[in-house]
């Protein structure tokens, strides 16, 4: 049954008149045309669809609109401010921490939540925190280096 | 405009408008395999345009799937044209705007396309100098062209930009092979590692992949899929699906789909389709497949025979006979296949994740009964290919559904569909009989490969008596034993061939009580390989020991795509668990002139990290035509915790040779280097990939 579902995406209030049990991933990609968030496996295994909800990394293919009602959702499109890349994004660019780029939004959002929780993680903690995000191109080494570099600069909330 | 399949040169050029245009032709030698070109002048492979705004646009049928060619090609052009990298726009994989291209695979882009692009850049610069000479009234030898500007040598303030020179021009030059390229010592752009041109798009979410294309009225399609390869549809009852609001149903004999504006609603409707299938014929599983491969092998192609194979080894020589097996491996890019198709005014436009936009275009036109010029394939960013995005099924389905429904349609594979329709790296077998004499020289090499083809199998070791027989390639064919599609997978067949060879080399080195590096150096006079091995050893800190030394060190090497790679690795084996942790990998690679060192290093790191998968975990599970592997829970890709604590890359300097392939060579020795390191750690050798914990434990138990 349709009803208004309210939440905030990248700081902006959003109201969707829709079924609240719909999956967040498809609402983001479809209704809101925020296609930076990717489908990878549909089972919460690969992490390509990761967004940040209330400061926590969430697999948007496993979350419903009901789960985010009244909450703050941040997607990859919300990281840069006024054309300036977020330190994490800049570190990914500087370290070449991507190849095909398809897993990159999920990697960035998972790392964003990781640094929000623990601003100065050890290299081991970064690797553990990123363990459940999959990359097929093999950019792992550079992703870890980029996150470590961004953490040194201090993560912006 | 011409109306036939061939567009003539003049109309092609008219399409491009003003400015300065340089047409790139690779010449007949480089065009092997390109004979199916259609719809474009037969001698054009790419072109570049210098616009009146000074921007340079390169139109190439190649595509960017993560390998970084968007940047490295632009670098090669920038070098010889004399423009800043930022002034170059790359238009790639668009069949309306780019000339025909066979596809992006085989590490060919930089090798084949790069030199032609450089020559085009040099030719364009000569044209610009000539124009400047006329406009400034000075001879060309008093002018210098750089950074998009022609200036007077002793008076840099006296200058004119490329854009100003292009203004009002309609100059067309066909590539002249005599154009003088800048030499290695003059390079300012080639050999540098600038920020990738796709970087900003990819970290902001702005990068569009095929599934990200949004059109008004777009329908998401979910298609009815068989439960197994070989099952045939008897009947599909779509009535229950059709009653859902907003659902569009297509029920044709070979195309049953439900469509909806919301992909989830389409998926829910698909569950209401009742389908009846014939049972799929029974067949082997991942264990039984190897007997089938041997039983169904075609007659061999004999690639190499020298010396005497029969009569047994010479007195004192030791003989070794081993069989190597590797299962099916999936490409599994994180982006599953996706396509969006739309018809407008009789013209079909398809955005597709594909490595082969032009062959796809050439199939779509006859399939839909359209004039080829009314079909356009656009390739946005591709989210990983590795050889797996050449088939194009999803684009064909999207196009057919768009035609039937009259609406824009997206077909985006689920992960299960991605596994089901993947063109796997085939299961394959290699049998080797070899011998080594008392001085540690290989005297016999009798090599039979089944269903992996010949790539990288050519021997660079000096062996007097050798034979190589190829029983079927990696593509499969009519008599193939495979129940599902197989096809090219990052360095097709080479991973199997090099794993088997480098394992067998190690078997002999250990039996001869010779250090495995020393054994390789003793048996090859190939200077490029010797240098790679020595450079790898220097960086690794290799010291001689006979295996198994207990150190867990391994070495393996291979030749692929014109490049040489030698790898060394250190592993730790958890004997109770049967797991392997690769602690450190060094790769020394000779790839000729290095266009973009950071890009090349990234590709090597990618090869090493991705390679851990086919060595340690990746194997498609199946029963006959039914795939047991449907998602990542049954198919484990390398993860962050698998990452070696050090991956070190040495780009072995070799400016004598033009740039060679970089996306594949370093993955090829991964099977050998890890297998050999595991043997060195434990004394156990596995003749089956992947080395799953169960298999490794069994091998370790056999030893103790």
Helices and strands per DSSP (H, E), number in chain B: 17, 29
Token pair 């902001």 in the structure block, residue:
B204
A123 touches chain B (CB under 8 A): no
For residue B557, name the pLDDT band (cuts at 50, 70, 90).
Answer: very high
pLDDT tens figures, B363-385: 999 999 999 999 999 999 999 99
Query: Is the pLDDT confidence value at B37 over 50?
Result: no
Say if the Cβ atoms of B415 and A43 lie within 8 Å.
yes
Residue B30: what pLDDT? 43
Sign of the dihedral through C-alpha A89, A95, A100, A102: negative
Beta-sheet strand order (sheet of B149-152): B143-146, B149-152, B155-161
Copy the structure tokens of residue B279. Answer: 């049972």
Nearest CB to A98: which of B202, B262, B643? Answer: B202
Quick one: which of B549, B556, B543 has its CA closest to B505?
B556
The share of chain B scoring above pLDDT 90, in percent, equals 80
A49 touches chain B (CB under 8 A): no
Nearest CB to B212: which of A35, A93, A140? Answer: A35
- Nearest 5°: the CA angle B213, B263, A106 is 65
Q: Which residues does chain B have within 8 Å of residue A93's beta carbon, measured at their own beta carbons?
A: 195-196, 199-200, 203
DSSP secondary structure string, B263-276?
HHHHHHHHTT-EEE
Residue B184 sits at φ, ψ, to 5 deg, of: -55, -40
A51 touches chain B (CB under 8 A): no
B330 touches chain A (CB under 8 A): no
Nearest CB to A100: which of B261, B383, B643? Answer: B383
State the average pLDDT over residues B173-195. 82
A56 touches chain B (CB under 8 A): no
Token pair 């790839």 in the structure block, residue:
B591
Shortest Cα–Cα distance, A141 to chain B (Å): 7
Q: Which residues does chain A have within 8 Å of residue B414's beta carbon, measured at their own beta carbons?
A: 42
Q: How many CB atoms lie within 10 A of CB B80?
A: 24
Say if the Cβ atoms of B336 and A40 lie within 8 Å.
yes
Residue B512 CA to residue B483 CA, distance in Å, equals: 42
Residue B26: what pLDDT? 57
Copy the structure tokens of residue A153. Answer: 């600069």
Residue B282: what pLDDT? 92
Residues in B 115-144 with any Cβ partner in A closer than 8 A: none
Inter-residue contact B597 to B574 (CB < 8 Å): no
Residue B335 sits at φ, ψ, to 5 deg, of: -85, 110
How far is the CA of B420 from the CAs of A48, B512, B627, in angstroms? 20, 46, 7
Residue B374 CA to residue B368 CA, distance in Å, equals: 10
Say if the Cβ atoms of A140 and B638 lie within 8 Å.
yes
Residue B541 CA to residue A5 CA, distance in Å, equals: 62
Q: How many CB atoms lie within 10 A of CB A112?
A: 27
Least confident of B66-75, B172-181, B554-563, B619-628: B172-181
How far is the CA of A20 from the CAs of A8, A34, A61, A85, in angstroms? 15, 18, 14, 33
Copy the structure tokens of residue B205. Answer: 């979410």
Question: Could you read off the pLDDT tens digit of each residue along chain A, which spans 157 residues?
Answer: 899 999 999 999 999 999 999 999 999 999 999 999 999 999 999 999 999 999 999 999 999 999 999 999 999 999 999 999 999 999 999 999 999 999 999 999 999 999 999 999 999 999 999 999 999 999 999 999 999 999 986 555 4
Shortest Cα–Cα distance, A70 to chain B (Å): 23
Residue A90: what pLDDT? 97
- Residue of B29 and B295 predicted with greater confidence: B295
B185 touches chain A (CB under 8 A): no
- Residue of B13 and B343 predicted with greater confidence: B343
Q: How many CA atoms lie within 13 A of A118 on its CB side?
A: 15
Say if the Cβ atoms of B609 and A141 lie within 8 Å.
yes
Instruction: Mention every residue, 6+ apart, whose C-beta is less than 8 A from residue B272.
Output: B240, B241, B244
Copy the structure tokens of residue B612. Answer: 């851990």
Q: How many CB atoms lie within 10 A of CB B441?
A: 17
Residue B31: what pLDDT? 43
Quick one: which of B201, B227, B253, B230 has its CA closest to B66?
B201
Residue B249 sits at φ, ψ, to 5 deg, of: -110, 135
ipTM: 0.97
Residues in B 406-425 with any Cβ partner in A closer than 8 A: 412, 414-415
Residue B313: what pLDDT? 55
Say if the Cβ atoms of A104 and B202 lie within 8 Å.
yes
Least confident of B40-54, B531-545, B640-654, B659-673: B40-54
Query: Is the pLDDT confidence value at B4 over 70?
Result: no
Burial (CB count <10 Å: 0-12, 13-18, 19+), residue B410: buried
Residue B113: what pLDDT? 80
Query: Is the pLDDT confidence value at B704 over 80?
Result: no
Q: Which residues pair with B338 in a beta bridge?
A: B412
Q: Which residues does chain B have within 8 Å of residue A131's beta carbon, measured at their own beta carbons?
A: 639-641
Q: Which residues does chain A have within 8 Å of residue B599's beta carbon, measured at their own beta carbons?
A: 96
Residue B7 CA to residue B1 CA, distance in Å, equals: 7
For residue B548, name the pLDDT band (cuts at 50, 70, 90).
Answer: very high
Residue B562 CA to residue B598 CA, distance in Å, equals: 19
Residue B614: what pLDDT? 98
Copy the structure tokens of residue B514. Answer: 């010779």
Residue B366 CA to residue B360 CA, distance in Å, equals: 11
Q: What is the 3-state secondary structure (H, E, C) of B111-139?
A: HHHHHHHHHHHHHHHHHHHHHHHHHHCCC
- Residue of B476 and B333 predicted with greater confidence: B333
- Nearest 5°: the CA angle B10, B12, B16 is 110
List strand residue ranges (DSSP E) for B561-645, in order. Answer: 563-574, 579-590, 622-623, 626-627
Inter-residue contact B593 to B655 (CB < 8 Å): yes
End-to-end CA distance of chain A: 36
Give the 3-state secondary structure of residue B527: helix
Least confident of A24-33, B11-20, B124-133, B623-632: B11-20
Residue B435 CA to residue B447 CA, distance in Å, equals: 12
Nearest CB to B203: which of A34, A42, A93? Answer: A93
Say if the Cβ atoms of B605 and A142 lie within 8 Å.
yes
Nearest CB to B203: which of A92, A99, A131? Answer: A92
Say if the Cβ atoms of B334 and A42 lie within 8 Å.
no
Interface test with A, best of B202, B637, B644 (most A CBs within 10 A): B202
Residue B607 CA to residue B598 CA, distance in Å, equals: 14
Residue B236 sits at φ, ψ, to 5 deg, of: -125, 120
pLDDT tens figures, B100-156: 888 888 777 888 788 888 888 998 899 899 999 999 999 999 999 999 999 999 999
State the average pLDDT over residues B622-627. 96
Q: Which residues does chain B have within 8 Å of residue A1's beta carbon, measured at their own beta carbons?
A: none
Q: Which residues does chain B have within 8 Å of residue A35's beta carbon, measured at their own beta carbons?
A: 205, 208, 211-212, 214
Nearest CB to B203: which of A39, A102, A108? Answer: A108
Query: Is the pLDDT confidence value at B456 over 80?
Result: yes
B337 touches chain A (CB under 8 A): no
Instruction: Mention every residue, 6+ apart, whose C-beta is less than 8 A from residue B704.
Output: none
Say if the Cβ atoms of B334 and A100 lie within 8 Å.
yes
Query: Is the pLDDT confidence value at B530 over 90?
Result: yes
Query: Is the pLDDT confidence value at B424 over 50?
Result: yes
**Nearest residue on chain B to A90, judged by CA atoms?**
B203
Residue A121: what pLDDT? 96
Q: Which residues does chain B have within 8 Å of residue A133's beta carbon, measured at their own beta carbons?
A: 640
State the average pLDDT over residues B427-443. 96
Interface test with B, best of A100, A109, A125 (most B CBs within 10 A): A100
The share of chain B scoring above pLDDT 70, in percent, equals 92
Say if the Cβ atoms of A26 and B67 lie within 8 Å.
no
For residue B497, name the pLDDT band (cuts at 50, 70, 90).
Answer: very high
| H helices present in B238-371, as ranges | 239-242, 263-270, 289-295, 357-368
Query: Is the pLDDT confidence value at B501 over 80?
Result: yes
């Amino acid at each position: 049954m349709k009803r208004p579902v309210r939440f905030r995406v990248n700081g902006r209030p959003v109201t969707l008149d829709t079924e609240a049990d719909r999956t967040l991933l498809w609402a983001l990609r479809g209704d809101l045309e925020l296609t930076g968030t990717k489908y990878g496996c549909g089972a919460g295994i690969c992490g390509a669809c990761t967004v940040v909800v209330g400061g926590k990394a969430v697999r948007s293919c496993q979350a419903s609109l009901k789960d985010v009602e009244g909450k703050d959702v941040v997607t990859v499109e919300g990281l840069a401010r006024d054309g300036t890349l977020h330190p994490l994004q800049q570190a990914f660019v500087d370290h070449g921490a991507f190849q095909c780029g398809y897993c990159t939004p999920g990697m960035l959002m998972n790392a964003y939540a990781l640094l929000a929780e623990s601003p100065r993680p050890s290299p081991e903690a970064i690797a553990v925190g990123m363990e459940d995000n999959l990359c097929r191109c093999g950019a792992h080494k550079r992703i870890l280096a980029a996150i470590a570099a961004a953490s040194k600069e201090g993560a912006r909330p | 405009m011409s109306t036939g399949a061939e567009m003539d040169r003049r109309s092609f050029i008219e399409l491009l408008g003003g400015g300065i245009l340089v047409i790139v032709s690779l010449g007949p030698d480089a065009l092997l395999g390109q004979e199916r070109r259609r719809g474009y002048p037969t001698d054009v492979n790419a072109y570049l345009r210098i616009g009146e705004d000074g921007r340079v646009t390169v139109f190439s049928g190649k595509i960017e799937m993560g390998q970084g060619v968007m940047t490295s090609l632009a670098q090669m052009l920038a070098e010889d044209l004399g423009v800043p990298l930022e002034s170059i726009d790359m238009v790639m994989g668009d069949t309306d705007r780019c000339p025909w291209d066979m596809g992006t695979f085989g590490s060919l882009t930089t090798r084949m396309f790069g030199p032609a692009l450089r020559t085009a850049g040099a030719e364009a610069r000569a044209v610009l100098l000539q124009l400047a000479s006329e406009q400034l009234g000075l001879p060309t030898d008093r002018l210098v062209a750089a950074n998009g500007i022609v200036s007077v040598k002793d008076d840099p303030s006296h200058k004119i930009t490329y854009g100003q020179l292009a203004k009002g021009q309609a100059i067309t030059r066909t590539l002249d092979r005599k154009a003088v390229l800048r030499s290695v010592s003059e390079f300012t752009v080639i050999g540098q590692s600038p920020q990738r041109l796709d970087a900003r798009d990819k970290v902001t979410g702005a990068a569009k992949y095929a599934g990200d294309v949004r059109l008004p009225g777009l329908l998401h399609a979910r298609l009815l899929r068989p439960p197994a390869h070989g099952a045939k549809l008897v009947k599909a009852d779509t009535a229950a699906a059709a009653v859902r609001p907003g659902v569009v149903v297509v029920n044709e004999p070979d195309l049953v789909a439900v469509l909806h504006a919301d992909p989830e609603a389409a998926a829910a409707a698909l569950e209401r389709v009742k389908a009846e299938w014939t049972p799929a014929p029974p067949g082997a599983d991942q264990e039984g497949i190897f007997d089938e491969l041997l039983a169904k092998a075609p007659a061999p192609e004999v690639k190499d025979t020298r010396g005497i194979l029969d009569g047994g080894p010479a007195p004192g020589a030791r003989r070794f006979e081993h069989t190597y097996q590797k299962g099916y491996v999936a490409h599994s890019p994180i982006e599953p296949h996706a396509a969006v198709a739309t018809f407008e005014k009789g013209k079909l436009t398809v955005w597709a994740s594909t490595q082969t936009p032009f062959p796809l275009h050439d199939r779509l036109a006859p399939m839909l009964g359209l004039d080829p010029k009314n079909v356009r394939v656009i390739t946005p960013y591709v989210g990983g290919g590795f050889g797996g995005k050449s088939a194009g099924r999803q684009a064909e389905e999207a196009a057919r559904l768009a035609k039937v429904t009259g609406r824009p349609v997206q077909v985006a594979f689920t992960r299960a569909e991605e596994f089901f329709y993947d063109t796997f790296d085939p299961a394959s077998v290699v049998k080797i009989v070899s011998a080594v004499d008392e001085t540690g020289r290989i005297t016999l090499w009798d090599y039979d490969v089944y269903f992996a083809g010949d790539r990288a199998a050519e021997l660079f070791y000096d062996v007097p008596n050798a034979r190589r027989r190829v029983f079927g390639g990696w593509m499969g064919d009519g008599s193939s034993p495979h129940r599902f599609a197989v096809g090219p997978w990052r360095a097709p067949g080479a991973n199997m061939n090099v794993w088997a060879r480098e394992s067998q080399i190690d078997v002999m080195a250990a039996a001869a009580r010779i250090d495995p590096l020393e054994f390789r150096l003793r048996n090859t006079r190939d200077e490029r390989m010797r240098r790679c091995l020595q450079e790898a050893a220097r960086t690794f800190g290799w010291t001689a020991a006979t295996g198994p030394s207990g150190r867990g060190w391994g070495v393996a090497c291979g030749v692929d795509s014109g490049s040489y790679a030698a790898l060394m690795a250190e592993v730790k084996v958890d004997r109770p668990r049967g797991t392997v942790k690769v602690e450190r990998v060094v790769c020394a690679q000779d790839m000729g002139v290095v266009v973009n060192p950071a890009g090349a290093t990234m590709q090597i790191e990618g090869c090493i990290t991705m390679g851990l998968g086919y060595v340690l975990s990746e194997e498609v599970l199946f029963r006959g035509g039914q795939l047991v592997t449907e998602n990542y829970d049954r198919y484990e890709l390398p993860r962050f915790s698998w990452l070696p604590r050090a991956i070190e890359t040495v780009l072995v300097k070799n400016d004598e040779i033009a740039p060679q392939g970089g996306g594949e060579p370093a993955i090829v020795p991964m099977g050998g280097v890890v297998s050999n390191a595991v043997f060195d750690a434990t004394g156990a050798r596995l003749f089956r990939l992947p080395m799953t914990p169960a298999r490794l434990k069994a091998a370790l138990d056999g030893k103790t």
